[in-house]
């Protein structure tokens, strides 16, 4: 405990000494993205802010002992997690509506509604969630953190990425912060928030680690983050967070069954950003649609590491023939269908792509166009 107190005090002290070249009225201090309110003082080019303001913004407990004229800053891992959940909670919503899918399945549970979770990403009411959360419901309603219910409209949904954008008529909401996906590594802490099983469990928090990144799952279009944080029915569409409270993924599914334990998946934040950017730019997702079919090796199908490329099965493209083996697209090596889709997600210019392939003993590079 003593070491953690010293660490918290050291971090706070470092923040106090942040260099600045501005008037005190213009200086803003942020801790983990949240502005710290407190009197700011400038002296000799150094910015000072009360220790209590910075420490409490970090979730620490600050106690003043007048007898010994000492300040005690207590900071634990639990304090940090509780503060994170408190800060991020208003960015998480629940989504509910009348179920219009398989009525025989609904009858089993005597329930005509379905629900999931979502994340506010723009303060004027834009929400990201799973496509499968909104695909079979009508009379969609969004439940905010404070329990307020607001009608929602599905602006866009995409089955391939399993993502959808919902809009509500509200402003001044708290948007989530997005993590840099390059900073997401196996072993780092993962925190999931959502409404598992029932809306009475709104804002339920589970914790685990990132078990893996860029994980292909079956025949899914893109790759996933694997986590052992519990994700149950109703968590879908909610956030997977890092210890800064930043979005690293959108929770999409958990696997249960005999011999299966702590196996859950989230859509990575880079895919989330791709879908949002495509919608903002085009109103839809512009994907490559080349006149050919590809087949991955048996190793790729079962998950064995391989350097084999993708075999062209059929082709209406003059540059490619059946039997050619594509090894790269736009300079990125591809060994599976998921590799192909991920590479095009990151590099497709909307019309053409450069493919590297082998035909017999020849290595060939060609530019192909999208229909």
Active site residue ranges: 132, 162, 236
- CB within 8 Å of 142: residues ≥ 6 apart: 93, 94, 95, 118, 127, 149, 150, 151, 152, 166, 168
- CB within 8 Å of 185: residues ≥ 6 apart: 210, 213
DSSP state of 213: E
Cα 137 to Cα 56: distance, rounded to the nearest angstrom: 42
- How many helices (H) and strands (E) in the chain? 8, 25
User: What is the pairing mode between strands 189-194 and 239-241?
Assistant: antiparallel
In contact, 141 and 97? CB cutoff 8 Å: yes
Within its chain, how far is the Cα of 144 from the centroid? 19
């Amino acid at each position: 405990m003593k070491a953690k107190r010293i660490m918290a005090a050291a971090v706070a002290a470092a923040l106090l000494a942040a260099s600045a070249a501005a008037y005190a009225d213009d200086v803003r201090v942020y801790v983990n993205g949240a502005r710290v309110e407190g009197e700011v003082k400038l002296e000799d080019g150094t910015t000072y802010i009360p220790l209590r303001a910075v420490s409490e913004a970090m979730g620490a407990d600050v106690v003043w002992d007048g007898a010994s004229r000492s300040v005690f800053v207590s900071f634990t891992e639990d304090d940090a997690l509780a503060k994170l959940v408190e800060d991020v909670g208003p960015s998480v919503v629940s989504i509910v509506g009348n179920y219009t899918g398989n009525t025989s399945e609904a009858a089993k549970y005597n329930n005509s509604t379905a629900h999931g979770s979502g994340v506010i990403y723009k303060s004027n009411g834009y929400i990201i969630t799973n496509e499968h959360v909104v695909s079979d419901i009508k009379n969609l309603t969004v439940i905010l953190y404070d329990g307020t219910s607001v009608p929602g409209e599905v602006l866009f949904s995409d089955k391939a990425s399993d993502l959808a954008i919902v809009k509500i008529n509200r402003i001044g909401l708290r948007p989530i912060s997005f993590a840099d996906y390059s900073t997401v590594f196996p072993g780092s802490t993962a925190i999931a928030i959502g409404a598992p099983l029932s809306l009475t469990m709104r804002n339920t928090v589970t914790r685990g680690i990132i078990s893996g990144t860029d994980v292909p799952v079956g025949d899914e279009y893109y790759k996933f983050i694997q986590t052992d944080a519990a994700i149950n029915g109703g968590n879908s569409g909610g956030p997977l967070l890092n210890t800064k409270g930043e979005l690293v993924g959108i929770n999409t599914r958990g696997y249960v069954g005999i011999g299966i334990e702590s196996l859950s998946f989230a859509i990575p934040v880079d895919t989330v950003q791709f879908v949002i950017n495509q919608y903002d730019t085009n109103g839809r997702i512009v994907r490559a649609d080349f006149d050919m079919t590809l087949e991955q090796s048996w190793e790729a199908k079962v998950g064995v590491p391989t350097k084999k490329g993708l075999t062209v099965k059929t082709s209406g493209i003059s540059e490619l023939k059946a039997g050619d083996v594509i090894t790269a697209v736009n300079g990125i090596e591809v060994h599976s269908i998921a590799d192909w889709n991920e590479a095009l997600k990151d590099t497709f210019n909307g019309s053409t792509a450069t493919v590297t392939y082998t035909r017999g003993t020849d290595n060939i590079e060609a530019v192909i166009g999208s229909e």
